[in-house]
Amino acid sequence: MEENGEEKLIQAVRHIAKSLGRTDTMADDILQVFSAFDGRFSLDKLASDRSVPAHTAVAPAAAGREADDPRQPLERTIRTLDRQISRFVASERLIWSDAADAAAFLETVDDLLATIHDLDAPPDKPLLDRAEDLLQRCILRLEEELRAILRRPVGCGPAVGTPPSDGSDSDAAEGSEDRVPVAAPVDDYNLVIDALPSGSVADLHAIARRMVAAGFGRECAEAYGVSRRGFVDASVARLGIRPRPAEEVQASTWIDLEDEIARWVKAVNMAFLILVPSERRLCDRVFASLPPFADIAFAAACRPAAAGLLSFAYVVAAGPRDPVRLFRLIDMYEALRDLLPELDHLLSEQYSAALRADVAAGRRALGAAIRGIFVELENLIQRDPAKATVPGGGLHPITRYVMNYLQAACASRRTLEEVMDEDAAIPPDPHHPSSSPSLSLQIAWLMDVLHSNLENKSKIYPEPPLSYIFLMNNGRYMTQKARDSELGALLGEDWIRRQMAMVRRWGNAYQRATWTKVVAVLRMDVIGGAAGKAMRERLRVFDTYLEDIWKVQSGWVVADEQLRTELKLAVGALVLPAYRNFVARLRLAGEGGKQAERYLKYTVEEVEARINQLFDGGRRRC
């Protein structure tokens, strides 16, 4: 009974198809509708023993030709696919909100791609046009679904298929797939962010595979990159760096800019050592075995945010060449320089290589700015005016500034050598890589410029001896600063020896300018007779010279204690033996011992005490 009922139902369906179908094609369409509506109406059952429609009996030859037409199965397939695709495309609900629908849609797309392949050999243009129109509708919906998957919250939505593996995923990584990454500064950059769960990655890979197979790989990669860009931009924004116009950055105070540079250094490390590698890994999983679309998607997702970060480096590098900026520029230069080896493998493909080139260009711009600062430092020294003297011939502020500045700069000696070598006419010696001729020459030249400036300043002192004291103070300071830092290694032992010899020459010049006339007074070639009166006169002149020198030069300054001691000893060695010999001769000049003492205002010890009170900067000892 049940079988008879089903047979009657099938006969009724056949009758409906015959009645309504003016052609076999229309009748087949009606049967397809019934087949899709109820599983009991399979095409095999509906087609078997089907009687020939009345209108086909009139023209049996035509019916035979239609039955033998190989286009008929493909037409039926395209009509079936059209109905299925239309149902999916017209749905307002996301296809990937239901795993069964997603799987069915992907299967439909696969069938359509296979049908298009069959239509290509031999080509059937009318049917092929219809199929390609269906494919275009599928691609548009797949793009929409791809964007929706990228937007949906972590942990939502079903997974369709198995996520592709690149061989590097660990169980631990899969276990952390539901984490929501927070881009905050960290100390350990050996992190990988799984920004999407493995199910979403599998869905995206399934879509990408179909779009690439359909010839829309670039469109898929670009749609992915544009959609993913929002996450990358937001992650960079969480690091405290926001894009600003160049004019706004240039108008910032240096204090504010210093703080921003410190944040930028941390942000650029976070971006290129954590965020960018994580995005590369994600793209490689989504577009597994689909080169070069993984690289296209990665570049589209990451390059805009990375370019925004790097633009800050360009703006800072284009700013004023104020020497105070050097140390922060070195920090920025080192950050980009240290990134490049990490990026060599990560950004080696055709499209992402441009991002590495951007990083390298930023490093070069910062290097040029650093070299420009050294040029500005030279100009600053040369422009420092020789207007006012330093009291007591002490250390000039320009000497202290330049030497302390270079000493601090040379703490980054390796970086500065690298920067200078980039623009050097003399290549580094491969046999002595630890020494950079360009940096050494640059520092030596700055020393020469400073020497020249100090010599000009020494000429404004009215007393020549004080000008020598001024040169000695500044020359000694330069020598000590060089010996106590990397400056000495750059300038070399020969420079230090020449500098010390120069200080000694200035010391000798001071002695000649001050004490030669004093010692000359104490020379006596005649003893006895009228010599006694001449000696007393010379003694009086000596006393006057000594007192005048003491009054003036006890207020002069020799800052370096060792130099001050050496200078006093040298003066004592010149004056005291002559004075001691003069006193002895005075006592033998017919005056007698007691008589001679009346004319001696200072003993040898008191003269020595006066000499020892020189160069104390006014702190006299009575």
530 and 595 part of one domain: yes
Kindly state whether residue 195 falls inside one of the protein's structural domains: no
Could you tell me the pLDDT band of residue 189, with boundaries at 50, 70 and 90? low
Question: Domain containing 117: what range?
Answer: 74-151
Helix (H, G, I), strand (E, B) or coil at 120: strand
Kindly state whether residue 204 falls inside one of the protein's structural domains: yes
Count of domains observed in the chain: 4
Across-strand partners of 120?
123
Contact 517, 546 (CB under 8 A): no
**Count of positions (residues) in the chain:** 622
Could you tell me the pLDDT band of residue 468, with boundaries at 50, 70 and 90? very high
333 and 365 part of one domain: yes
Kindly state whether residue 601 falls inside one of the protein's structural domains: yes
pLDDT of residue 239: 87
Q: What percent of the chain has pLDDT over 90?
A: 62
Nearest by Cα to 271 from 234, 295, 306:
306
Lowest mean pLDDT among 334-338, 524-528, 566-570: 524-528
Kindly state whether residue 132 falls inside one of the protein's structural domains: yes
pLDDT tens digits, 353-402? 999 999 999 999 999 999 999 999 999 999 998 888 999 999 999 999 99
365 and 222 part of one domain: yes
d(CA 480, CA 435): 21
d(CA 333, CA 367): 7
pLDDT tens digits, 474-499? 999 999 999 988 899 999 999 999 99
pLDDT of residue 622: 34
Of residues 535 and 477, the one with the higher pLDDT is: 477
d(CA 268, CA 241): 10
d(CA 443, CA 332): 22
304 and 406 part of one domain: no
Kindly state whether residue 479 falls inside one of the protein's structural domains: yes
Q: Does pLDDT of 181 surpass 60?
A: no
User: Would the pTM count as exceeding 0.85?
Assistant: no
Kindly state whether residue 34 falls inside one of the protein's structural domains: no
